[in-house]
Structures are given as C-alpha cells and as structure tokens.
Amino acid sequence: MTSEIRYDRDNVFAKILRGEIPCDKVYEDDHVLAFRDIAPQAPVHVLVIPKGPYISLADFSTIASPDEIAEFFAAVGKIASDLGLDDPGYRILANHGSDGGQEVPHFHVHIFGGKKLGAMLPK
Ligand code: AMP
C-alpha cells in the first residue's frame, strides 16, 4: 500500500496545512511549515513539517525527492538559527511509530531549546 493511501488526511497537521486549524507559524516556504507546539516541553518548542503527505521519517526518507529532503533539513537548521538557538544550542527529535511515541501521523521534527535540556532519554 502506498503512503498516499495510508496517509490520514484528517490528522491535525494535515488540517493545519489546509488552514482548517490555526497555528502559531514561525516559518513557511513552498515545501515546509514550522509552528510552535501547542503543549511546549521547553521554552522554545517548534515543529517543522514537510507539506507533502508523509507519515513519518520512514516514508519521507524513501518517497520524498532528494531536493525535498535536503531543503527540509536545511529549513530545520535555518529555523533553529533564526530562533536564536545556535548558541547556546538546541535539540532536534523525530518520533516514529508506537515505540517512538509518535502521536501525529504526519512527519515532523521537534526543535527544543531555551534551557539546558538534560539527558537525551529519561533514565
Ligand atoms: P509526536 O508525539 O512526535 O507525534 O508529537 C506531536 C506533537 O504535536 C506534540 O508535541 C503535540 O503537543 C503537538 N500538537 C498536537 N496538536 C497540535 C496543534 N494543533 N498545534 C501545535 N502542536 C500540536
């Protein structure tokens, strides 16, 4: 089954992309949207999403074009930089599937910053 068929067009990020739900936008270009997380887990918590219908990194990395993938990760770096996070630093994270704790089935990268973030995973 292709990703296009498996992709849930009613997921919350699909609704944000269609303008059906508002978001606190921090960046947008032809292929990428970034907005603040509704339940921030750090002083800065931004979500970066591709505009295409990709469920997770598994199909973004295999279905998206090389240009789209390169532009997406360049945008992640630019957004973090524009948010003033290059110094003192930040963390990016992407959850995939149930073990990864992915809640929204549209590929996204979290950017966390604004404080010392501590251990990478809970002990
Ligand atoms: P994940 O667990 O990696 O799928 O993360 C999904 C994230 O989406 C969570 O951090 C949620 O707080 C966030 N989220 C859910 N709905 C919204 C929304 N309407 N606007 C912004 N962030 C949202």
- CATH superfamily of this structure's domain 12-113: HIT-like (3.30.428.10)
Residue nearest (by alpha carbon) to ligand 1 atom 13: 37
The reply to whether ligand 1 has any atom less than 6 angstroms from the CB of 11 is: no
Check if 26 has its Cβ closer than 6 Å to any atom of ligand 1.
no
Rounded to an integer, what distance in angstroms lies between the CA atom of residue 73 and that of residue 107? 12
106 is catalytic: no
Report how far residue 90's alpha carbon sits from residue 3's, in angstroms, rounded to the nearest whole number.
31
What whole-number distance in Å separates Cα of residue 52 and Cα of residue 76?
16
State how far the Cα of 17 lies from the Cα of 38, in Å rounded to an integer.
15
Residue nearest to atom 12 of ligand 1 (CA): 39
pTM of the full predicted structure? 0.96
Instruction: Using pLDDT thresholds of 50, 70 and 90, give the confidence band for residue 122.
Output: confident
Instruction: Give 15-67 pLDDT, tens digit per residue.
Output: 999 999 999 999 999 999 999 999 999 999 999 999 999 999 999 999 999 99
What are the structural domain ranges in the chain?
12-113
pLDDT in tens, 88-98: 999 999 999 99
